[in-house]
Structure 1
Amino acid sequence: MAPALASALDAPTGEVVLTITGNITEKNNGDQADFDIAMLEALGVQNFETTTNWTEGKTAFSGPTLLTVLKAVGAGSTKMSATALNDYTIQMDAGTDDFPGPVIATKLNGEEMSVRTKGPLWLVYPYDLDQKFQNELIFSNSIWQLRSIEVAN
């Protein structure tokens, strides 16, 4: 994967909500890349509505795609592990342009998410868009309270 940004990442000015480590070339804090909400949203936001196993009715999500965030840090792989605030960790592939991965949702129904409402970040897919987003692997990759990603070599 080639970096989406030609220069080093700026340091976050708000609360750090996501840390990316591992096989990355763009860093802003030692060996890692830290992001606040504004930095994530500055990468471009995808908006969609979908039903989920964890919410009632159609829910609106917005945030950058996981692939976009990985490109911004110059990830050398789409293979990664993602960890939530409660240390729940998954191994996953971030997807490809042909089979898109999740969005790192920063907003739910137009509002920032608190830890209580599965935030501040939630990996979500457009489950209603296609049957390929409706299986146990996709559901298990849909972690809320995302705090860190480690990109594999």
Structure 2
Amino acid sequence: MVYLTRRASLLALCGGLALPVMALEKPTGPVVLSVAGDIVHRNASDRADFDMAMLVALPQHTLITTSPWHKQPTRFTGPLMRDVLASVGATGGKVRATALNNYQIEIPTEDFDKYSVVLVRLVDGQPMRIRDKGPLLIMYPFDQSSALRTQVHYGRAIWQLRRLDIL
């Protein structure tokens, strides 16, 4: 089935064929992230919900960088944001990210294509508690480009992430 899905995706990209809507597995643990808006794949009526195991099942990426909140180089691990968006078939040009405290920030999806932005679930190999900016945060590779070390990009590195709305 995975082979057929990959082949169908490749055919759709090359030939412009429409893909059937694929079902996204349902979370079996507590939901840690919901993705809604301009998405193709859902596992709830109007959104895609993820538990931590579903995020772990996506390809994992480790980023080592400093940030305004981590002065020493810190190891951040989780799926790339572009992989999270691909898993739900996101089609919009912006993401409105919402934290547990309802803080919101809009992020252009081109950031996720241009940079290896990580949806962090582990910091230095450890899960994050809510009081430590967890359970999820978005982290940019700040040390890879001086263009990322701006207040705009720091503001997009949202912690205690709970929801993504694709616009």
**TM-score greater than 0.5 by the shorter chain:** yes
Does residue 65 in structure 1 map to residue 74 in structure 2? no
Secondary structure in 2 matching 1:57: strand
* Pairing partner for 1:81 from 84, 93, 96: 96
Listed as ranges, the gaps of 5+ residues in structure 2 are: 1-12, 14-20
Higher relative contact order (CA 8 A, sep 6+): 1
Does residue 26 in structure 1 map to residue 41 in structure 2? yes
Q: Which amino acid aligns with 2:119?
A: I
Higher fraction of helix: 2
CA distance in 1, matches of 2:154, 2:88: 26
RMSD between aligned residues: 1.6
Determine the structure 1 residue equivalent to 2:139.
124
CA distance in 1, matches of 2:116, 2:94: 11
Q: Is this contact kept in 2: 1:65–1:101, CA < 8 A?
A: yes
**Structure whose CA Rg is larger:** 2
1:48: Cα distance to partner? 1.6
Relative distance call for 1:33 and 1:143 in structure 2 (3 A) is same
1:110: Cα distance to partner? 0.3
Q: Is this contact kept in 2: 1:94–1:101, CA < 8 A?
A: no
CA distance in 1, matches of 2:101, 2:81: 20
Q: Which amino acid aligns with 1:25?
A: V
Secondary structure in 1 matching 2:76: strand
In the alignment of these two chains, the number of paired residues is 148
1:136: Cα distance to partner? 1.2
Identity of aligned residues (%): 39
Higher fraction of strand: 2
Listed as ranges, the gaps of 5+ residues in structure 1 are: none
Determine the structure 2 residue equivalent to 1:94.
109
What is the TM-score of this pair, normalised by structure 1? Answer: 0.90
Runs (4 or more) in structure 1 with deviation over 2 Å come to 94-98
